[in-house]
Structure 1
Amino acid sequence: MQKILVIEDEFEIRENITELLHAQNFQVIAVENGIKGITAAQTHIPDLIICDISMPELDGYRVLEALRHEPITASIPFIFLTAFVEKSNTRKGMELGADDYLTKPCTPAELLSAIAARLAKQATRDRQQSEKLEELRQSIILSLPHELRTPLNGILASSELLLMHFDQPEDADTREMIELINISGKRLYRLIQNFLLYAELELIAASPEQIKALQAHSTPCAEALVTEKAVYQAQQVHRQPDLELELEDAYLQISPTRLMKIVDELVDNAFKFSVPGTPVKVACQVSQGIFTLSVSDKGRGMKPEQLMQIGAHMQFDRKLYEQQGSGLGLAIAKRLAELHGGSLSIESVPAEQTTVTVKLPLAPE
């Protein structure tokens, strides 16, 4: 049974629409204002939303704007039903992302026709998107892991075995080459894992049900996890004295595995793009129900135009600097934060300092 959310402050109109939709075998969630409408949309994930514009507390435009900015509700068909008849109102609604605009009074047939058209269009869009995503998923799952992981495991195992049994101290050049093979293999393995994770996150982002399942996990002791991962990264590059920790504990609405990935990528980048002897600061604080994680370094920084181009395949100043990896780390951290209802932002002054800030919601009590 398809679900329709009705957001209408006039009791009689709300009841009439509810009765009409029930008669057509729709499941109906009806609320009387915009604030309750946003909560209901995020809780129930309806198949379609019908919303008035002129309402107390929060009008229909702001409801639509709020829902379009949340991944879990961004693609839900949205119909305005309002007494406003001016073209400027219609245009404003469409610019914000409304799918249709009906003026009151409208007949039951007109309303049902608009609903049917929007649901059919959404079904077609969902089907086409599912076909494309399934093709991508099959290609990645069936081809990439086997084609890349299998030979790479052989390279890693063989190089590690050679290092374990290498007993020719006088042949330092050969040992150095074997170590380089092993290190390069580990970097390639990390890159493959990140590509697979990024593809997985894109698949999740296209499914409200999967987003909701992703957000169902929690981490009770964030401070211990952040500490463990930051210290490990510092040890890997022999920069324990450079690490500064200023942490506050929190109970977060994100799984330990996903939180560790965010910390791993941000701290790894901070060490990678700063020189030994300069500080890398990891700080956490809680305020007004939001957990803020920030990672700062005194490295080369990024220009404003570079900050605007953060994406899965972006590498900054490739010709000027040696950079390992494909630039996926920030994109993955940003996507993870957004899928959990948070955000990622960067403040950077070239050649001085970069601070990456991730905000995540606390777990409900």
Structure 2
Amino acid sequence: MTKILVIEDEPSLREEILDILESEGFDVMGAEDGLEGLDSAQTNFPDLILCDVMLPGADGYAVLSGLRQNPDTALIPFIFLTAKATRENVRQGMDLGADDYLTKPFRMDELLNAITSRLTKQATIVQIHQKVTQLQHSNLLKDEFIGSASQELRGPATNIMMALKLLQQAANPEQTQRYIDRLQQECYREIHLIDDLLDLHYLGANERPLQPEKLNLQTWIPAIVEPFKTQARKRQQTLWSNIPPYLPMPVIDAADFKRILSELLNNACKYTAPGGKIVLEARCDLTASEAINPDGQMIMLIVSNEAEIPDKFIPNLFQPFYRVPESDRWQQGGNGLGLTLVEKLAKRLNGKVQISSKAGWTQFTLQLPIETNPPTTLAPNK
């Protein structure tokens, strides 16, 4: 409810204004002098203030000056009520930041029109202020992102230059091959980072339209999992999957779904020690997340691996370029964008991804609605 403070030393006029405003649905409060009004404004933070100019204790100009000097009250719309509306008086009030003047005696419809006008303008000002704040925050995030991306790109480039110099000085075929392998590894790392950066850009700009199709998960998921089983065997890990035969066939963007699953499996293999276990489960759930899909079924993919992440690191896992300190046991040299992409892709598919880590296991749970028809709009990427 809109709060209005009326600062008026004439009791009958103050009560009349308060009664009328209350009957119009406003939350009202009154003050009989300037000091009381200033204290009330700085305590209750009204949405608009009506203030007489000639007041005991502190006049209306002193009240307005005090409010404008306080950041918490500086933007409250302020309307003077006065029987003394000379050009000089009006100019003095406007110079202090008054929004309007009403000359006594005034009709109540004039008062209500002035209030409505000021509240409408104030709503516009607040919206503009919020947009400016959002843009400033967005620009700050972009600057931070560009700085982090530049640093990440510089790493592989520096290693490539070093490997090239060492390659020129190689004394035997074994050294030559070792440096060539290092060059290939760093080139792949650089290309992968650039691809991830481009994907983040396209997601943020909604430049890649969804291409939904009907997927048979019983055959589609094992095809994605198989290369990771090979990778796990090389690292003496155990990767097994449980894909029940009764799963429905969702209509979904296959490329996005594949990217999410691949990133989660790669992440699990990356942070699991030799001899550790990795488990992929899929199931259909009617009650998993009513907030996502209250009228239909949910597909749930759960990727668990035998490794625990300390609680203090979990809130940062979806932040760009974030990596859990000293956890890359296989020295894959990831760029910290995989889980950022997972979260954004899940939102794009109208789903979400959650993480828990306890009792020696880390679990990522992906929840996606089962669409019976292809979606016609994109989920917002924020």
The TM-score, its normalising length taken from structure 1, stands at 0.52
The answer (yes or no) to whether the contact 1:252–1:360 under 8 Å persists in 2 is no
Shift, 1:309, TM fit: 1.9
Distance in 2, matches of 1:227 and 1:113, equals 63
Percentage identity across paired residues of the two chains: 20
Q: Provide the residue aligned with 2:220 in structure 1.
A: 225
Measured after TM superposition, the shift of residue 296 of structure 1 is: 1.0
Q: What's the secondary structure of 1:267's corresponding residue?
A: helix
Residue identity matched to 1:231: E
Measured in 1, the distance between the counterparts of 2:239 and 2:328 equals 26
Q: Does 1:292 align with 2:278?
A: no
Q: Pick the aligned partner of 1:318 from 326, 331, 334.
A: 326
Greater mean deviation of Cα atoms: 242-251 or 126-135: 126-135
Q: How far did residue 193 of structure 1 move? A: 1.5
Aligned counterpart in structure 1 of residue 191 of structure 2, from 185, 189, 192: 189
SS at match of 1:308: helix
Letter in 2 for 1:287: D
Asked if structure 1 preserves the Cα contact closer than 8 Å seen for 2:354 and 2:366, the reply is yes
Q: How many residues align?
A: 243
Q: Is the 8 A contact 1:302 1:354 kept in 2?
A: yes
Note if contact 1:234-1:243 (Cα within 8 Å) is conserved in structure 2.
yes
In the TM superposition, what whole-angstrom CA distance separates every residue of 1:299-323 from its partner, at most 9, and x where no partner exists? x320111112221122112388546
Change (3 A) 1:225 1:129: farther
Determine the C-alpha separation between the residues in 2 that align with 1:83 and 1:364: 46
Alignment of 1:1-365 (within 5 A): 85=27, 118=123, 122=127, 171-201=173-203, 203-204=204-205, 210=206, 217-221=211-215, 223=217, 224-236=219-231, 238-239=233-234, 242-248=238-244, 249-252=247-250, 254-288=252-286, 289-298=297-306, 300-310=307-317, 311-318=319-326, 322=331, 324-349=333-358, 352-365=360-373
- Cα distance change on mapping 1:229 and 1:290 into 2, 3 Å: same
In structure 2, the residue matched to 1:14 is none
Deviations 1:259-316 (A, max 9, x none): 1111111000111111344322111111121111111111x32011111222112211
The DSSP-based 3-state class of the residue aligned with 2:214 is: coil
Alignment check: 8 A CA contact 2:268 2:305 kept: yes
* Distance in 1 of aligned mates of 2:228 and 2:176: 28
Q: Which residue of 1 aligns with 2:56?
A: none
Task: Specify the code of the residue in structure 1 equivalent to 2:355.
Answer: I
Aligned mates of 2:368, 2:28 — CA distance in 1: 41
Give 1:226's aligned amino acid.
I
For 1:86 and 1:358, the matched residues in 2 are separated by: 49
Q: CA deviation at 1:180?
A: 2.5
The code of the aligned residue for 1:190 comes to: H
Q: Do the aligned residues in 1 keep the contact of 2:280 with 2:304 (CA within 8 Å)? A: yes
Q: List alignment gaps of at least 5 residues for structure 1.
A: 1-81, 92-106, 163-169, 205-209
Find the structure with the greater CA-based Rg.
Answer: 2
Distance change (3 Å), C-alpha of 1:234 and 1:177: farther
Structure 1 position 121, deviation (Å): 5.3
- Could you tell me which runs of 5 or more consecutive residues in structure 2 were left unpaired when the two chains were aligned: 1-23, 30-43, 46-111, 287-296, 374-382
Give the conservation status (yes or no) of the 8 Å contact 2:215–2:252.
no
Instruction: Determine the structure 2 residue equivalent to 1:61.
Output: none
1:242 alignment partner AA: T
Distance 1:241 1:133, change over 3 A: closer
| CA distance in structure 2 between the partners assigned to 1:319 and 1:294 by the alignment | 21
- Give the whole-Å Cα distance in 2 for the aligned partners of 1:314 and 1:353: 20
Quote how far apart the aligned CAs of 1:327 are: 1.9
Letter of the 1:259 partner, please give it. Answer: F
Q: Deviations over 1:50-105 (max 9, x none)?
A: xxxxxxxxxxxxxxxxxxxxxxxxxxxxxxxx969499xx99xxxxxxxxxxxxxx
Q: AA paired with 1:221?
A: L
| Distance in 1 (alpha carbons) for counterparts of 2:271 and 2:327 | 15
Amino acid at match of 1:178: I
- Distance, in Å, in 1 between the alignment partners of 2:117 and 2:254 is 46
Q: 1:360 to 1:319 in 2, by over 3 A?
A: closer
